[in-house]
């Protein structure tokens, strides 16, 4: 892996940014260019400042909504299958993130990454803490990242900014009762959609909570999609369409890790997946052997289960 603790210019993900990135590109716009005129066009069309254009590109690329290729002095960006699947104005399943399942899907896309390590990917894939101070997370991330990446992680100030950005992206700011009474406009209306998932809670004073839980609010289709994507990686070098329970619970980029599932929560999701898929996903928990099997139809087409989710709720 390579460290990637910069690129967002300290701006957390915001509502509408991913939609803007995909459809700006689809309409012929540019998100990174050495030409001042094209940069100004992006600023005008996206309705943000130059630094925010960079942040929009960062978050869209991190969620794998964009693909890119280098041409001369520029990097040319194009929308990916993920980007068009969810955010395309004409064909996207939920371009405005009106369904909570779509937010869970964006969360999964952001963190299902074996190539680049950021503060949020470190937390969801490698950290073991559930109750933590920001300073402790900084220390842990700095120490562990040096073992996980092949390049320089940068200075502590850079890492601290990335952790701040992660926490601002996933947790609503703590407000005392006195402050809440003074607010006339709900500032959280403008915060990141990922705060809706309640995966990280700001308790004030630099303390945060992120419990492992059962996640009944996580749609089973999104869980199965994450399960299949992980299983594709785990089984790619074998002819076995199964993965063990502990891997699903604890390995980096597993659904247990990314969705912050407890052991009982993962078991419940697998029970639900088995019933939902009518055996397309099945698992056994007997005599200490816990294995999950996914049939070829499911394993070869993870988007099919998402299509069922959007077909049933749109």
Domain end position, chosen among 185, 209, 233? 209
Whether the per-residue pLDDT at 60 is higher than 50: the answer is yes
* 228, 166: one domain: no
- Please report whether residue 306 resides in a domain: yes
Phi, psi of 216 (to 5 degrees): -60, -20
- Please report whether residue 149 resides in a domain: yes
pLDDT of residue 238: 77
Q: b vs e for 29-42, b when ≥16 Cβ sit within 10 Å of the residue's Cβ? A: bbbbbeeeeebebb
pLDDT of residue 37: 67
State the residue range of the domain holding 133.
116-209
Chain mean pLDDT for the chain:
90
* 127, 165: one domain: yes
pLDDT of residue 144: 97
- Please report whether residue 278 resides in a domain: yes
- Please report whether residue 215 resides in a domain: no
Note the pLDDT tens digit of each residue in 133-155.
Answer: 999 999 999 999 999 999 999 89
* 21, 41: one domain: yes
Whether the per-residue pLDDT at 306 is higher than 70: the answer is yes
Domain end position, chosen among 209, 238, 258? 209
Domain at 80, CATH number: 1.10.10.10
Handedness of CA 141, 142, 144, 149 (dihedral sign): positive
- Please report whether residue 300 resides in a domain: yes
pLDDT of residue 33: 57
pLDDT of residue 190: 55
Whether the per-residue pLDDT at 89 is higher than 90: the answer is yes
* 126, 180: one domain: yes
| Number of folded domains that form the chain | 3
* 130, 174: one domain: yes
Across 96-117, average pLDDT: 97
Q: How confident is the model at residue 4 (pLDDT cuts 50, 70, 90)?
A: very high
- Please report whether residue 3 resides in a domain: no
pLDDT of residue 34: 59
How many whole angstroms separate alpha carbon 290 and alpha carbon 156?
41
Higher pLDDT, 161 or 29: 161
- Give the least confident one: 54-63, 181-190, 214-223, 251-260: 181-190
Across 260-265, average pLDDT: 98
Q: How confident is the model at residue 31 (pLDDT cuts 50, 70, 90)?
A: confident
* 309, 286: one domain: yes
- Give the least confident one: 4-13, 42-51, 192-201: 42-51
Domain end position, chosen among 209, 231, 247? 209
* 45, 68: one domain: yes
* 231, 182: one domain: no
pLDDT of residue 184: 43
How many whole angstroms separate alpha carbon 175 and alpha carbon 19?
30
pLDDT of residue 179: 47
- Please report whether residue 10 resides in a domain: no
Domain at 302, CATH number: 1.10.10
Q: What angle do CA 145, 201, 264 make, to 5 degrees?
A: 80
Note the pLDDT tens digit of each residue in 168-208.
Answer: 999 988 655 554 444 444 444 458 999 999 999 999 999 99
Q: How confident is the model at residue 229 (pLDDT cuts 50, 70, 90)?
A: very high
- Please report whether residue 174 resides in a domain: yes
pLDDT of residue 42: 76
Note the pLDDT tens digit of each residue in 61-81.
Answer: 999 999 888 776 677 889 999
pLDDT of residue 72: 67
């Amino acid at each position: 892996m390579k460290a990637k603790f910069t690129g967002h210019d300290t701006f957390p993900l915001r509502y509408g940014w991913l939609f803007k990135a995909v459809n700006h590109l689809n309409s012929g716009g540019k998100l990174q260019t050495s030409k001042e005129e094209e940069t100004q066009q992006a600023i005008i069309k996206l309705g943000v400042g130059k630094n925010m254009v960079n942040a929009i590109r960062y978050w869209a690329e991190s969620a794998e909504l964009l693909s890119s290729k280098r041409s001369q002095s520029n990097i040319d960006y194009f929308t990916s299958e993920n980007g068009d699947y969810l955010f395309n104005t004409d064909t996207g399943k939920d371009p405005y993130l009106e369904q909570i399942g779509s937010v869970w899907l964006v969360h999964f896309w952001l963190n299902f990454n074996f190539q680049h390590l950021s503060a949020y990917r470190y937390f969801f894939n490698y950290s073991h803490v559930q109750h933590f101070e920001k300073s402790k997370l900084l220390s842990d991330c700095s120490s562990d990242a040096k073992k996980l990446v092949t390049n320089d992680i940068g200075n502590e100030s850079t890492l601290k900014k990335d952790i701040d950005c992660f926490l601002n992206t996933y947790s609503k700011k703590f407000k005392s009762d006195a402050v809440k009474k003074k607010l006339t406009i709900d500032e959280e209306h403008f915060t990141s959609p990922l705060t809706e998932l309640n995966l990280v809670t700001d308790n004030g004073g630099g303390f945060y909570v992120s419990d492992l839980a059962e996640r009944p609010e996580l749609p089973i289709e999104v869980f199965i999609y994450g399960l299949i994507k992980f299983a594709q990686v785990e089984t790619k070098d074998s002819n076995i369409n199964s993965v063990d329970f502990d891997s699903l619970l604890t390995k980096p980029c597993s659904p247990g890790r990314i969705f912050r599932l407890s052991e009982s929560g993962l078991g419940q999701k697998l029970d639900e997946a088995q019933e939902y898929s009518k055996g397309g996903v099945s698992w056994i928990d007997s005599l200490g052997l816990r294995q999950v099997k996914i049939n070829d139809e499911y394993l070869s087409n993870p988007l099919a289960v998402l299509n069922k989710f959007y077909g049933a709720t749109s």
